[in-house]
Structure 1
């Protein structure tokens, strides 16, 4: 105990004084970089309907092409995050951040000028490549410019930025689509990237891992291929409303087999992308699982909520974005303060409470019908944001402090990999449940159409409404059937999401730590050996 209570040595500061003084300005630059990367996924949601319309207004993208426009970004992002974290550890986080921002900016400019859905999917993948190098480096730099006692507060602000970006993306997209063409939702990234690069060059210090790991190319290929096959099979099964279809089932099984091979290879590799031994720590595993399940539910909900507001309720893209504002407000209010709740009640109680709130909000989506007062959805979104805030902050702190500071890039990448994989699977699984349930509800009404047109018209509510619009007066019954079928499918999907969140409640209740006794808090908060010279 004597060592733990000895005052820090001022002659050997671990963080240079000049860096310490500008740490909050550095956090601001990191938040700006993080904002555009996370915002890009949610900003696309409100543009889906516009992009699906024929040229010159949109690209005439099909339902499948729209899903891949979202998932090409997410899967490249998730598949390369860990390798990007290792490259940051090896080459320097600042260099990797600058390169990632540049690639992201170039990909955004190209995506804005896409002339076909295929081009958009490809350029979105390029944007995902750049984003993969930005996100883990932001949290790794944060861990190097803040002392351990300030890290929970800084991570809380960082986590609030993630939630804020998810929520304000639809608002930003709605404003742009009200005044400009669909490509503006990507082009807006370019000036922000330029500003972020300039500020980063001036303010952000570089850092490396003195003992970086080797790059695991085989692991990267196996993880990306496995995820792409799995997600493709899930989406295909949803489009066909038949997950036992040979093509869908074979692709899902192949994806799972490749992912099992990935885990087998990683356990035997001397330079794995993911150190499987981390998961022997049950606290670490539970925190990672909680993040994945939260984003599984959130991204799936965001996906169907946009169709509910625009297709069923008739709101514009801008109005849809504004309706999601309570989600952002709750993040801003609660995320920076979540650490105070953790200090009082402990990580387990706070995370279990947050996931319980999310479970209940997902169940509450079953209350929404075509004429439900819209304020009901606003209340649901607010509580969902509050629940998220009380999960993201404590789990991020647990994950980042579970590994040595030198491995900050790897810890950040692992956390964000599971966040993105959770989100991608949420869109794929819940989107497929939505698609399958919708087709099952509307297919009887589609018998008025020629046999060749029925399958395409039943893929989504947008496809059905498009066909109904061309039928004139005869299409009114089809519009009513489409709305009823979508609402039924949305309720089923929301309950599936609630089931996933409930699993998260059980995981964190069993494995995350409770509130430690007061005498243990004193020793835990005392300066650790790696914090010599940390106090100012």
Structure 2
């Protein structure tokens, strides 16, 4: 962020030896982040293959597919905050190395899963490792770059997410065309090995020099609260019923525990996180923007794979190539977002970004079975452009709000809200999609044997599977009905996603700082005193 005119230049706080290799360190951090992003984007194009019967896949149902994604999210979101605190206390490099190692082991085990249950278990282990990787990469970044270079570095870091989104589906498509489905996980192993070696050589360690007392009660409350909340959200999406007793108990219980966490942190002499940061509108708005944009985007990302492959008939590789414009836009614009923020202010840039995301999501309501490819590519590019002008500025706002020695905590807050927002998006929008689809397809299941009607109405993949068993003649009308029902459900879900993105636009438009240089940093950023950080190789 720009320094106010007349303010003295901040003294260098990064050792010269670390400062000289900061861009190499950033490259290693991006590579580590790429592993996590790559895995999720690969899985998005593989869901159809994994749902196929053996030997092509493992016959996972839609519910099991959702849990293969959500078991990762549940563990990831539940441990993010704790992982950030642990990195601040014992060293971010140590946490990063351990997280990547666990992620690699989980990937190898997931590759050789013989049942959906095994896949769900090993995906949870991968989520455990990823929870320690994600906060550590951003925390290390904040400690090897001076404050004036942090927005540029964060923009490049965010752009690496776009790279992962681009490489993942293409890599997944190529692997699925030539190898068995487990190869999409096994490919992580050599990447993990390279990342481990590079980190040992290049990345410095850093931690809070005065971590204070441990807050075990706060840590326990954060884990229990987040796990209960995310589980309730996921379970509600699975049942397509958020009034179910098990769903309500989990969600209400999670919210009560998190409320207890906030109450405890306010009164603790050694809180895990200073809750007063959330009183600042800019900080709270930045965190809310992260949650809202991922709520809107993740739900659409999940159903777009089925639209492209089941309705449009594209292969996994072709579907991956269609996502490239979204990733390309992020890679092009995210590293340059700081320049636009310097000129127009975070409020205007993030509001415009949210409106672009909303427009892209709403465009799905116009898609049908014959929408031209170039139109889809344009919509994905618009979405990517919007994301590129949201994530870097709000991440800078969150990270620069906290003192440098608390970078792990700041990164954990950033990623926790993103994961909870994403899980909520998949669950809520997924249940909307499922409910509307089931309502539309039920009237077309007359030719299906009575015992198979419930299964046939669960999802478009289930309906197409039953139609295939009916034969080409009897099954053709059911295929057409399934496509129409799915497109109708997709339209409703897309409009819901766009509405959430519009809410995000209102939030950032009201509360993020404008163009004034002194306000572009997050609360407390300008006044934060220099901290002598323990930083070493």
| Cα-to-partner distance string for 1:344-388 (whole Å, 9 max, x where unaligned) | 110000000000111111111111101111111100000000000
Residue matched to 1:222: 225
| Cα-to-partner distance string for 1:43-97 (whole Å, 9 max, x where unaligned) | 1011111111111111111110000000000111111001000110111000000
CA contact (8 A) 1:230 1:256 kept: no
Greater shift, 430-439 or 462-471, is seen at 430-439
Write out aligned runs for 1:215-294 (5 A): 215=216, 216-237=219-240, 243-244=242-243, 248=244, 250-269=246-265, 270=268, 275-294=274-293
Residue matched to 2:483: 483
Measured in 2, the distance between the counterparts of 1:98 and 1:440 equals 48
Distance change >3 Å, CA 210–CA 55, structure 1 → 2: same
Residue matched to 2:414: 415
**Alignment RMSD (CA, Å):** 2.3
Note if 1:75 corresponds to 2:74. Answer: yes
Question: What's the CA shift for 1:451?
Answer: 2.6
Write out aligned runs for 1:143-222 (5 A): 143-212=142-211, 213-215=214-216, 216-222=219-225
CA contact (8 A) 2:4 2:518 kept: no
CA contact (8 A) 1:95 1:206 kept: yes
Measured in 2, the distance between the counterparts of 1:4 and 1:198 equals 44
Distance change >3 Å, CA 205–CA 189, structure 1 → 2: same
Distance change >3 Å, CA 217–CA 2, structure 1 → 2: closer
- The number of aligned residues is 521
| Cα-to-partner distance string for 1:26-56 (whole Å, 9 max, x where unaligned) | 0000000000112211210111111111111
Measured in 1, the distance between the counterparts of 2:130 and 2:323 equals 24
Measured in 2, the distance between the counterparts of 1:307 and 1:519 equals 44
Q: Secondary structure in 2 aligned to 1:340?
A: helix
| Cα-to-partner distance string for 1:445-473 (whole Å, 9 max, x where unaligned) | 11322332111111110100000000011
Measured in 1, the distance between the counterparts of 2:494 and 2:464 equals 22
Measured in 1, the distance between the counterparts of 2:44 and 2:288 equals 25
Residue matched to 1:474: 474
| Cα-to-partner distance string for 1:103-130 (whole Å, 9 max, x where unaligned) | 0000000000111100000000000000
CA contact (8 A) 2:81 2:222 kept: no
Distance change >3 Å, CA 3–CA 491, structure 1 → 2: closer
Residue matched to 1:65: 64
CA contact (8 A) 1:366 1:491 kept: yes
CA contact (8 A) 2:404 2:531 kept: no
Measured in 1, the distance between the counterparts of 2:519 and 2:476 equals 70
Residue matched to 2:125: 126
Question: What's the CA shift for 1:300?
Answer: 1.1
Note if 1:301 corresponds to 2:304. Answer: no
Measured in 2, the distance between the counterparts of 1:24 and 1:527 equals 27
| Cα-to-partner distance string for 1:260-314 (whole Å, 9 max, x where unaligned) | 2322233224365554332111111100111111111111111111111100110
| Cα-to-partner distance string for 1:230-281 (whole Å, 9 max, x where unaligned) | 32123212xxxx555xxx3541353233222322233224365554332111
CA contact (8 A) 1:230 1:253 kept: no
Note if 1:136 corresponds to 2:135. Answer: yes
Question: What's the CA shift for 1:19?
Answer: 0.6
Measured in 2, the distance between the counterparts of 1:5 and 1:481 equals 66
Question: What's the CA shift for 1:219?
Answer: 2.7
Question: What's the CA shift for 1:167?
Answer: 3.8
CA contact (8 A) 1:5 1:527 kept: no
Q: Secondary structure in 2 aligned to 1:402?
A: coil
Residue matched to 2:499: 499
Greater shift, 293-302 or 178-187, is seen at 293-302
Q: Secondary structure in 2 aligned to 1:530?
A: coil
Question: What's the CA shift for 1:14?
Answer: 2.5
Measured in 2, the distance between the counterparts of 1:2 and 1:99 equals 40
Distance change >3 Å, CA 459–CA 202, structure 1 → 2: same
| Cα-to-partner distance string for 1:172-207 (whole Å, 9 max, x where unaligned) | 211111111100110010000000000100001100
Question: What's the CA shift for 1:532?
Answer: 9.7
TM-score by length of 2: 0.93
CA contact (8 A) 1:220 1:273 kept: no
**Unaligned regions of 5+ residues in structure 2, if any?**
none
Measured in 2, the distance between the counterparts of 1:509 and 1:233 equals 31
| Cα-to-partner distance string for 1:401-456 (whole Å, 9 max, x where unaligned) | 01111110000010001111111111111111111111111011113223321111
Distance change >3 Å, CA 518–CA 112, structure 1 → 2: closer
Residue matched to 1:41: 40
Question: What's the CA shift for 1:16?
Answer: 1.3
Question: What's the CA shift for 1:222?
Answer: 2.7
Distance change >3 Å, CA 2–CA 175, structure 1 → 2: closer
Greater shift, 146-155 or 52-61, is seen at 52-61
